[in-house]
Amino acid sequence: MEQDSTSYHSQGLMRGLLVLKALGQRGQAAGLAELARAIDLPKPSLLRLLTVMEREGFVARFGQPPVYGLGPSVYELAESLTPLEVSEVTGPVLKALADELGFTSNLGVLKGRSVLHLNVEEPARALRLADGGFLDHTYCTGLGKMLLSALDAERVSEHVPSTEPYERFTERTLTSRRQLNAELAKIRERGFSIDDEERNRGVRCMAILVPLESAVALSLSVSGPSGELAQADEERIYGSLQAAAVTLASLPRLSMAIHDLRTKIGN
185-221 residue pLDDT tens:
999 999 999 999 999 999 999 999 999 987 889 999 9
CA gap 143, 194 in Å, rounded: 9
Residue pair 161/119 in contact (Cβ under 8 Å)? The answer is: no
* 147 and 238 inside one domain: yes
Rounded Cα distance, 73 and 56, in Å: 7
Domain count, the chain: 2
Q: Are residues 76 and 100 in the same domain?
A: no
* Domain co-membership, 105 together with 189: yes
Nearest Cα to Cα of residue 107 among 254, 231, 256, 8: 254
Looking at residue 7, its pLDDT comes to: 62
Question: At residue 31, does pLDDT exceed 80?
Answer: yes
**Which range of residues forms the domain containing residue 241?**
86-265
Are both 99 and 206 inside the same structural domain? Answer: yes
What is the per-residue pLDDT for 1? Answer: 37
For residue 58, what pLDDT is reported? Answer: 92
Same domain as 135, residue 64: no
Could you give the CA distance from residue 169 to residue 232 in angstroms, rounded to a whole number?
25
What radius of gyration, in Å, describes the C-alpha atoms of the chain? Answer: 27
- Distance of alpha carbon 45 from alpha carbon 123, whole angstroms: 63
Please say whether the beta carbons of 131 and 169 come within 8 A: no
**Contact at 8 Å (CB) between 147 and 138?**
yes
Cβ neighbours for 93, distance < 8 A, ≥ 6 positions apart: 244, 247, 248, 251
Task: Give yes or no for a contact between 223 and 204, defined as CB atoms under 8 angstroms apart.
Answer: yes
Alpha carbon distance, N-terminus to C-terminus of the chain: 49
Same domain for 182 and 59, yes or no, is no
Going from the C-alpha of 81 to that of each of 75, 85, 181, 214, 260, the distances in angstroms are: 10, 12, 42, 20, 10
Do 160 and 248 share a domain, yes or no? yes
Task: Grade residue 264 by pLDDT with cuts at 50, 70 and 90.
Answer: confident
Distance separating alpha carbons of residues 70 and 65, to the nearest angstrom: 17
What does the alpha-carbon distance between residue 16 and residue 58 come to, in Å, rounded to a whole number? 9
Under the banding of pLDDT at 50, 70 and 90, the label for residue 3 is very low
What CATH number is associated with residue 191? 3.30.450.40
When mean pLDDT is compared over 19-33, 45-59, 245-259, the highest value belongs to 45-59
Q: Mean per-residue pLDDT for 252-262?
A: 83
Q: What is the pLDDT of residue 79?
A: 63
Question: Could you tell me the CATH number of the domain that includes residue 41?
Answer: 1.10.10.10
